[in-house]
Structure 1
Amino acid sequence: MAGKSGRSISNVPEKAIRKNILSWEGMLVVVFILMVIFCRSISPNFHLENVLREMPKYLAEAFIMLPMAYVLILGEIDISVGATVCLSATMTCMACNKELPFIAVVLVCLLVGTACGLINGLVLTNFTELPPMIVTLATQIIFRGIAEISLGSGGSVSLTNTDGFRMIAGKVGIIPYIFFLVVILAVIFAVVLAKTTFGRSVYAIGSNRLAAYYAGIPVQRIRLIIYTALGFMSGLAALFLTSVLYGANTTTGNGFEMDAIAMAVFGGISTAGGKGRLAGGIISAFVIIMLRIGLGQINMNPQLILVILGALLILAVLLPNIAGELKVKKKAANTK
């Protein structure tokens, strides 16, 4: 039909398939496929059985990425999660070596992680003028410092009884338990963010916190819940990491915060807040895991792998801005 301007307006909506393929998540699926092909071409050992055997030590970071996406959508950041993992793993090993029942050891790990997240949340919600980066930087130093004091001069602790940890590191066929748990939790976190009032409130706070407050959204309560959930998931990551390493040391969890943020941002989550879908973060987590496994199998320098991941992160931030500028220019050209 013709509009007032004399231009023809199509009433046929854009095809859903094309829209999904051209979405950020659709492009990430393509990147994932290309990444698998690339890794298979550079490493003869890159096949399903080997990938699933190496995956657990990287999947622990995916636990942290899920609530970290919520924090980023709030327009905030938490850089203490690596230290939380270190402290949780340290306390877990010490509790295990005290010959506590395994269920008590698991509870210690989860409670320590949850307590760390709760501390971050309480400080940030009671002193709202404090920036999250500075607060979590301080707690990062505190949590890792407590872990280092607990570990003493040796700087490490090993499990004396690994039976329970061998159990949670088990497999169904060739698929590790942790893979199923990551998938289940990913679905739960994605549904809550996309389909519930809580999720819509998170987006509203990230878009405009003051407007969300005046709209009746319990801003500080939601922030407290999210930071506490991030602590709990860090404890869960520590539990499965301990089941792989059978111990902890002062470097446990190093860089986990940056990896979790990289997964979320590469997945299309905006660090400015209020934008992004968790589906992209989940896909990007597996893209990065595949890259780490593939490059690790050819014995590439770990620092070089970090350089590559950093370049991917910069690219993920730049592409939406470039695409936005191109759209503005195209729109300006069409109106002339």
Structure 2
Amino acid sequence: MAGKSGRSINNVPENPVKHMIFSWEGIMVLLFVLVNIFCAWFSEFYNLKSVLRQMPVYLAEIFLMLPMAYILVLGEIDISVGSIVCLSATISCLVSNTGLPFILVILISLLVGTACGAVNGFILTRFQELPPMIVTLATQIIFRGIAEIVLGEGGSVSLTNSDGFKAIGGKVGRVPYILFLVLILAVVAALILGKSTFGRRVYAIGTNRLTAYYSGIHVQKIRMLIYTLMGTFCGLCALFMVSSSYGANTTTGNGFEMDAIAMAVFGGISSTGGKGNLAGGIISAFIIVCLRVGLGQQNLHPQVILLILGLLLICAVALPNVVGEIKKALKVKKNA
């Protein structure tokens, strides 16, 4: 087809409905439906009522997935988040037991998490040659070590003043407060990453940090901000973890960093940076939550559940490459 200028117009817009169905997010929605069908078949106790009752235990981890997605889009990683949750939970329990007003307990938990995140951000922006994985591995050990020192010989602390934590662990009808907060923060985080100037700058840094720097983007300030916010969300996660367990111990937050990364990567966030959509990460997070609830109702061994989640993650990482190879092969066959 030729336009008035005489040039050929070959770029026909793709059907938006078709694009939505066959997008990664569309596949995630389909998988969410299939996972719920499977769980309902696998466990006779799996229904909306039981999911809403049990999901608060797992929902807190979604708080970690949101800023982790930003870090992955940057092309970096933070494996200290579980230890930050442990330290924040420990401090919040001890502070709550002194009888301080609960609003101060909330602020202290958030401040502890924010301080830890700021430490990660400061080291990584001050010493830019250091790889994020090594730095956050070191701080993971340090933060959990501090928590273990604070907890002392018993290695745990129980709440003696739990009124405030009971309040944030409450429900509207059968819907827990945490679900409302997760959905609100998820929508805000997705809009900022996908629609704002700040989000475009994050993608630019993840695509090519040097180019982003010479384009006038304050690369180190953005990295510092994101790592600091990661710590803040760890403090928030710690509050809801304590609200469900009424205490903290040396194993609190174990493996949370891997869960947050798995949710983001399974949702289509590229671990190499510059690619991905937070909407997919949010859907994948709820897929994993529902899968854990359904499998857990049949007393399946936790390691088996982790094995299944690991296989799903491998499939999520491998699938784009497999699809790409199939398209490539079909294109070669068509041109032959």
TM-score (norm 1): 0.97
**Distance (Å, rounded) in 2 between the aligned partners of 1:325 and 1:124:** 37
Q: Distance in 1 between matches of 2:10 and 2:143?
A: 58
Q: Say whether 1:314 aligns with 2:314.
A: yes
Q: Does 1:184 align with 2:184?
A: yes
Could you tell me which residue of structure 2 aligns to residue 213 of structure 1?
A: 213
- Aligned counterparts of 1:167 and 1:11: Cα–Cα separation in 2: 56
Secondary structure of the structure 1 residue equivalent to 2:153: helix
Q: Which amino acid aligns with 1:326?
A: I
Letter in 2 for 1:216: G
Q: CA deviation at 1:52?
A: 0.5
What RMSD in Å do the two structures reach over aligned CA positions?
1.4
How do 1:92-241 residues align onto structure 2 when only pairs under 5 Å count?
92-241=92-241
Q: Deviations over 1:161-188 (max 9, x none)?
A: 1111110001111100000000000000
After TM superposition, the structure 1 = structure 2 runs for residues 1-336 of structure 1, keeping only pairs within 5 Å, are: 1=1, 12-336=12-336
CA distance in structure 1 between the partners assigned to 2:232 and 2:333 by the alignment? 51
Q: 1:64 Cα deviation (Å)?
A: 0.3
Instruction: Compute the displacement of 1:311 (Å).
Output: 0.5
**Partners in 1 of 2:332 and 2:113 — Cα distance?**
51
Unaligned runs of 5+ in 1: none
Distance 2:2 2:38 in 1: 49
Q: Give ranges in structure 2 of 5+ residues lacking alignment.
A: none
Deviations 1:128-162 (A, max 9, x none): 00000000000000000000000011000000011
Q: After superposition, what is the alpha-carbon deviation per residue over 1:8-36, rounded to whole angstroms, capped at 9, x for unaligned?
A: 97665322111101000000100000000
Please identify runs of 4+ aligned residues in structure 1 that moved more than 4 A: 8-12
Q: Output the CA distance in 1 between the equivalents of 2:332 and 2:75.
A: 30
Letter of the 1:189 partner, please give it: A
How many residue pairs match? The answer is 332
Give the 3-state SS of the residue equivalent to 2:157 in structure 1: strand
Letter in 2 for 1:73: V
Provide the rounded CA distance (Å) in 1 between the counterparts of 2:259 and 2:194: 23
Report the 3-state secondary structure (helix = DSSP H, G, I; strand = E; otherwise coil) of the residue aligned with 1:273: coil
CA distance in 1, matches of 2:73, 2:11: 34
Residue type at the aligned position of 1:65:
M
- Cα deviation digits, residues 265-294 of structure 1 (max 9, x gap): 000000010000000000000000000000
Counterpart-to-counterpart distance in 2, 1:322 and 1:214: 35
Q: Percent identity?
A: 67
